Structure 1
Amino acid sequence: MIRPTIFLSFFLTMLAPAGQDGVAHAQSSKAASSEVRPPEAQPPKPAPYDDRLARLSEILGAVQYLRTLCPSSGPEDWRKSMSDLLAADTANEPERRQRMTAAFNRGYRSFAAIHSSCTRAAVMAEEGYRNEGATLAQEIASRFGN
């Protein structure tokens, strides 16, 4: 990736008035810095799979709540899975990390508002969400993974 300062220096060199020999000369850094403002920080572009990852985060939140409500023989710590996912994919992006955490919490709270005890519907919802999550995870990994 090109650093903004390197790109800016190159860009200024291209815009400098041509010298007598027809070659463009860069202005002194003091003059250039007084005339040109540094580019404003742009928010990072979302990853092409961010929507899917947000949905997966929401599913992990829902499954975490449903597994707590209806204990089963499978893995119980979906919150840890979410934490691992955040550490791996959003380590240096606090805004993105916040969006994924909000999606997890939304999934958790949406089922907490509906289900207060373990019912057949809750068990079926957990199974359906687990299957959807597995499909999404596989799709993200196969399509966007290294």
Structure 2
Amino acid sequence: MKNGCKRFASARAALFAILLLSLPSEVVLAQESSLDEPPFEQQLMRLSEIFGALHFLRPLCGENDTPSWRDQMEDFLDAETLDENRRRRFIERFNQGYRGFSVAYRDCTDAARIAMGQYLSEGETIITDVTSRYGR
């Protein structure tokens, strides 16, 4: 494959991953919304999705995080979920984030590194916002 074709395929894969993560999220967000959930629930669902994306992207790009993003997700689930249905929704969002990138990337690309940076930033923003507004 020529360089131009590789770049196009890489850009197309990145766009596909972003579409997989953004479009279903909006649909899932609308379906999951309920009157009895905490006001920050959708932010935590998004955070679960970000953990899944980072669990795929960071090792792909040679980052060896300890604890792993999966381990961080387990800690998050232990701290945040008592209800089994809620736990399953968080796990599904984690898996959705992971799968969204695993179908599009086989190698670490510039687009993967950019996405990784954006997810780290977004995750930090969510954590800061939720803890500052709703912290116990």
Q: Which has the higher helix share?
A: 2
Q: For structure 2, which runs of at least 5 residues remain unmatched after alignment?
A: 1-33
Deviation (angstroms), 1:47: 1.6
Partner SS for 2:36: coil
What is the TM-score when the length of structure 2 is the normalising length? 0.71
Q: 1:96 aligns with which of 76, 86, 109?
A: 86
Q: How does 1:1-146 map to 2 (within 5 A)?
A: 45-72=36-63, 74-75=65-66, 77-90=68-81, 92-146=82-136
Cα distance between partner residues in 1 of 2:105 and 2:64: 20
AA aligned to 1:121 is A
Q: CA offsets, 1:70-121, max 9 Å, x none?
A: 122654601111100000010x200100000000000000010111111111
Q: Percent identity?
A: 40
Cα distance between partner residues in 1 of 2:64 and 2:55: 14
Cα distance between partner residues in 2 of 1:54 and 1:104: 8
Deviation (angstroms), 1:46: 1.2
Number of aligned residues: 103
Cα distance between partner residues in 2 of 1:89 and 1:67: 24
Could you say which structure has the greater relative contact order, defined with CA pairs below 8 angstroms and 6 or more residues apart? 2
Q: For structure 1, which runs of at least 5 residues remain unmatched after alignment?
A: 1-42
The question of whether the paired residues in 2 share the 8 Å contact of 1:64 and 1:76 is answered with no
Point out the structure with max Rg over C-alpha: 1
**Considering only aligned residues, what root-mean-square deviation do their CA atoms show, in Å?**
1.7
Structure 1 residue ranges, 4+ long, deviating more than 3 angstroms after superposition: 73-76
